[in-house]
Structure 1
Amino acid sequence: MKGLLARLNIDPYLLLLVGTVGLASVLPARGIWAGIAGGVADAGIALLFFLHGAKLSRQALVDGARAWKLHLTVAAVTFGLFPVLGLGIRAIPGLEPSLATGVLFLTLLPSTVQSSIAFTAIAGGNVAAAVCSASFSNLAGIFITPLLTALFITGQSQGFSADPVLTIAVQLLLPFLAGHFLRPWIGGFVTRNKKVLGTVDRGSILLVVYTAFGAAVIEGLWQKVTLGELALIAVLSLAVLAVVMVAGTLAGKALGFPREDRIVLLFCGSKKSLATGVPLAGVLFPAAQVGAIILPLMFFHQIQLMVCAVLARKLAAENERAAAAAPAPTAPAASA
């Protein structure tokens, strides 16, 4: 089964997400159980950000920070070009409002960390710079995404509120900083148990997805959203990804970045983080709206993984061909 999914470039985690959505659709948490599930999900998210902080290597950031021009370009694509595209899509007439908001919200999110670095490494890019760009994007996103959300979405209808800022600080930022400051003592444990703790990461997201979709189903989500609209979301996600990738490639060449840095821009600049987006959506939007709002993010998450997996392998093959075509180094002449 795993081999088939790998050949199809399908992330097995997507099947778990789909299964969680199905469970929430059939058996949503109600009454006291909704409160219990929400409390467990909140605790899981705090643990997730604590582990993210513990994983963040200061030395990797120092090593990669020298490429500041590259990092600013990645940030411009992530928090500049993407939101412009999201605003354009939200203006499309006839798109269900919560889904349109979801598309805009996903464009306001930071980049991923693990997959951006992994694809950069496979493609032969500047891994140290990718670590720095992706980590900076995620850290900045804790502040920038709520500000952009208030500017373009929630602030337009209800005014700015300090409540989401306080919730983000307590539930997301404080655990993140605590984990990072404790890294000298727990960093080795986190590295040795990466697979087990990765299960905690993903399990936390599944809990939030379950509670969010359960609340949305109770409010009539599947009576509002049609299969045609879901197909449109998939098409729009692919179109946004294509535009960003082409723009990033052209920008990297125009700015004179070496090939290794252009690969960083391609993969770090085109990603959007499910792991950060789901918790932030739970903080920034009413519970009944979160399920519909994160639907576009789930579509985009899988599409970006499939496309980037193909591109990374293609770039890796180009590296191998270039290495094979390069002339072999000549041995120094023997002295008489």
Structure 2
Amino acid sequence: MRASEGSAPPVNGADAMSCMPLSLHRFDEELRALSTELAARAQSVRAGATRAYGCHVCKVVRQALGLAFTAARHGDEEWAGLLIGEAVYYAEHGGHLADCPQGPVAPPKRRPPLEVHRSLTEWAGASLPLVAATDASWWKNVTGVGYVVSDGRWGMRGHKGSGRPLAGADPVVIGELHAVALLLEHADADVVLVDSMAALKFLRSWQSSGTAPMPCGYDARPTATEPAALVRLAERVAERPDLRFEHVKAHRGHPLNETADSLASIARRRATRRFDAVARAEGLVQAFLAAWHDQDDPHALAA
């Protein structure tokens, strides 16, 4: 039976009609008059009873609690239980104000991962071989990866990690390999420039001997729908004996490496704060690719 379906016991009018929050001391005193079970149920609406000043839902909660406490003082445990049930029901199902402390706890907002793939048509007919560069940027569990191809294709992805890296894992090397995976999933090239010797060793090992080993600490378990990303990369690389992986020194002014490095950095920063990452990235790609193609023999740097 809901509390509204019968006659309530005699109540103190001030308790029944008051909409003001109770003091914490008063609330705790009222709980002592209840059974252990009812006190635990009433405790679940403590915030609405003691702190939610402007919330209209919590005003109803406080009215029901006031009646419940009065019923308990008169020895009517059954009515007290029904009224506490009413208070809990309204607290759980009512439309609280956005800042109400009794309202449902909103899940933390996670910025969706940034992933962008674009192409600058100015270099769509670039001469062969097609040269690509990849790079990664990692800081405090936030990763950005980027790639650029000499024919104008480029891309980047940034995301926050879901937890701490596994013990022994090297997130930088894993990120570098994810950058190559992003390239080969969305573009193609004849030569891939990588500035991490550790990542380069994995790529050449996969190309010559299959999908083992994986980087230390990398979780190679498949998802519900497909193999892990680096396992897919290893399989793809093993099927491409014609693909050349070459080392390029980082931060030495190589236009393609500088492009990939900038894209990875932009993607990483965009994962934690809002700015026009695509416009900034596109301008950098335009400038660096122009510098690459303006060289007398750009392919000599990939030889």
Bigger radius of gyration: 2
More helix as a share of residues: 1
The TM tier, using the shorter chain, reads under 0.3
For normalisation by structure 2, the TM-score amounts to 0.21
More strand as a share of residues: 2
